[in-house]
Amino acid sequence: MTNYRLYDNDLPEYAVAVDIYATPELHVVVQEYAPPKTIEPATAERRLRNALQVIQQVLALPMDRLHYKLRKAQKGTAQYQKQGEHERYHVVSEHGCKLWANFDDYLDTGLFLDHRPIRQRLQKEARNKRFLNLFCYTGSASIHAAVGGADHTLSVDMSNTYLDWLGQNFDLNNIPFTELDGRAPLPSRLPPHATLRADCVEWLARTAQDDRAPKFDIIFCDPPTFSNSKKMDESWDIQRDHVALIGDAMQLLTPGGVLYFSTNRQRFKLDALEGLKVEDITLQTLGEDYKRPPAPHRAWRITRG
């Protein structure tokens, strides 16, 4: 899998993203970033048609394997809402893991390509460890940790849709898992692999105060930039609320454990984290196809000082 950007020399101010997925049959997801209002609609249409034609010709790709999406500013959870009813899923292979991807029904495919290096790092570090995946989405990081030999993985998300998707990813890799009740305290003895439906912010704050809650050696936290979901009691903003979130996560970390914190919010500023050792590992978590400004995400390795 890889990512490219296509630029029109006459219209350099906006781009088309091209994601190439290596399934048994090659599929390409083309994401057009909404053109600025200064661009005439006819000009934007011409540019898009030219880009699609070039992609199809260069890759010798049938049209039914070329998937188009329009990216524009999103509000709330809009980017996670269903946009189609094709219900066609494809198996993607990555570092020894099999993952289901959907190229048509959602704005995102179920697999963030820019996080490939982070997932590989988690897989390499997970052996004999307890792994907690917060805001787990479709759980690809949990699959990597499990395949890497983690003793336990716990994946927390608010969405039934994505937890069901994760369950299918576990099944695809022949990994048994247990569904836990997010309203109850964590059992002192965790099952090997488990999913838990809950508002991550509320659940983490509550569990951090439970002295009996199990601890984790590795925590991966890639929260949304903003959310005002009806399922949440209060709105969430990563710039405003990340210090409290990280503080709660650290309460569930073993003494020698590590928290990997990531965000795709542009112009995000990590506030001072008293008593913690913070290492910016962004460059280490970008594949060659993403080493161009602006970076699609930023990432930090956080441990106790």
Q: What is the pLDDT of residues 67-88, one digit of tens each?
A: 998 877 555 444 445 555 567 8
- When the pLDDT of each residue in the chain is averaged and rounded to a whole number, the result is 90
Q: Which residues pair with 15 in a beta bridge?
A: 7
223-280: pLDDT as tens digits:
999 886 555 567 889 999 999 999 999 999 999 999 999 999 999 999 999 999 999 9
Residue among 194, 199, 189, 124 at smallest CA distance from 166: 194
Q: What percent of the chain has pLDDT over 90?
A: 70
Q: Once rounded to an integer, what is the mean pLDDT over residues 16-44?
A: 85
Out of 12-16, 110-114, 182-186, which region has the weakest mean confidence (pLDDT)?
12-16
pLDDT for the residue 86:
63
Can you tell me the mean pLDDT for 44-66? 89
Q: Which residue has the higher pLDDT, 208 or 51?
A: 208
- Decide if pLDDT at 281 tops 50: yes
**pLDDT band, residue 24 (cuts 50/70/90):** confident
Query: According to the model, what pLDDT value does residue 17 have?
Result: 85
What is the mean predicted confidence (pLDDT) over 117-130?
98
Confidence band, pLDDT 50/70/90 cuts, at residue 46: confident
For residue 182, pLDDT beyond 80: yes
Q: How confident is the model at residue 9 (pLDDT cuts 50, 70, 90)?
A: low
Q: How confident is the model at residue 14 (pLDDT cuts 50, 70, 90)?
A: low
Mind listing the domains of the chain with CATH numbers? 2-73 (3.30.750.80), 114-304 (3.40.50.150)
Structure confidence at residue 7 as a pLDDT band (50, 70, 90): low
